[in-house]
Amino acid sequence: MRMTDAVLAVREFSRFYTGVIGLLGSYQLAEPYSLTEARVLYELGQADSADTLDLRTRLSLDPGYLSRIVAKLEAAGLVVRERSIVDGRKQVLRLTDAGREVQRDLDARSSAHVAGLLAHTSEPERRSLVSALSTVRTVLSSHDTGPVTLRPLRPGDLGWVVQRHGQLYAAEYGWDVRFEGVVAGLCAEYATASAPDPRQAGWIAELGGGPVGSIFCMRRSDDVAQLRMLLVEPAARGHGVGTTLVDECLRFAKEAGYREIVLWTNAILHAARRIYERVGFTLDHEGEPPAWGGPVRAEQIWRRAL
């Protein structure tokens, strides 16, 4: 996508969401406080106290502007300023009992407002919304979005795995629908086993509350497991998602009693190969490039003892 198209799309969404939450005139959830004042109260409500420098950095506020806000809240009896007992050069802010009461009221009003926006939505729609918001946060965030968490598969996850493999590899390598068909076949194989297999498992990685990756441990034989469908969203790369997924797959395979684990990959997937090498996989075999369109190199089989 061209940068100009992306800029226009983000601006259009910003105008849409501004109207949805009522920032242009009818937004009164924070009254009698400004939105920035309400945000300061919210941040102070998340802990016993907060360093003014840390608060200023977290909210990207001008020092003078924050000082005026704090003075107003202090005069209203909502905030007190103290010297840090760790570093006397620093000021620490703390909510008073009255300040915590105001903060809880503002928080409840905001939650009720958003609940009203979502009242007409179904559970799948809310799940999709949270996933999309997580992607926005991960893409645009210049700071840590929290720890990587893994969870078991839920209904709908296999469809997401197929869709994201198809979209991602088409965008990055030009692979066509034939590759997506391979992934769909693997997901069907996993889903249509005659009975739940305790020696097979799949995981979804989440970052900031939404899915950013996948991996599966599947049975190849009684002694050999196969790592399949490792995926990491581009926006989540650099957060340790791939390594966390692979480590969990190896842990599971070993506890399930397999003696060896193998995986299939393509020689063009350099980032994945670096993860495999780091955890002890070694290249066992190279074959002909598959016919998926776009730049495709030799298929590879990697192995590791457990």
pTM: 0.62
Q: Would you state the pLDDT for residue 11?
A: 81
**Does one domain contain both 183 and 56?**
no
Q: How far apart are CA 142 and CA 81, in angstroms?
A: 30
Highest averaged pLDDT of the listed ranges 34-38, 107-111, 189-193: 189-193
**Does one domain contain both 110 and 165?**
no
* 7 domain residue, yes or no: no
Domain boundary among the residues 120, 138, 171 is at: 120
pLDDT mean over 143-166: 86
**Does one domain contain both 111 and 157?**
no
Q: Of all helices (H) and strands (E), which one includes residue 286? A: strand 282-286
**Does one domain contain both 214 and 80?**
no
**Does one domain contain both 153 and 89?**
no
The DSSP secondary structure of 65-124, one letter per residue, reads HHHHHHHHHHHTTSEEEEE-SS-TTSEEEEE-HHHHHHHHHHHHHHHHHHHHHTTT--HH
Tokens linked to 1: 């996508």
* 144 domain residue, yes or no: no
Q: Would you state the pLDDT for residue 265?
A: 92
- For residue 196, pLDDT over 90 is answered with no
* 9 domain residue, yes or no: no
Distance of alpha carbon 70 from the chain centroid = 33
**Does one domain contain both 112 and 252?**
no
Confidence of residue 86 (pLDDT cuts 50, 70, 90): low
Q: Would you state the pLDDT for residue 26?
A: 46
Count of domains observed in the chain: 2
- For residue 141, pLDDT over 70 is answered with no
Confidence of residue 261 (pLDDT cuts 50, 70, 90): very high
**Does one domain contain both 81 and 157?**
no
Q: Would you state the pLDDT for residue 144?
A: 58
Tell me how crowded residue 236 is: count the other CB atoms within 10 A of its CB.
Answer: 24
**Does one domain contain both 36 and 163?**
no
Domain boundaries, position 238: 149-305
**Does one domain contain both 114 and 201?**
no
Q: Would you state the pLDDT for residue 87?
A: 62
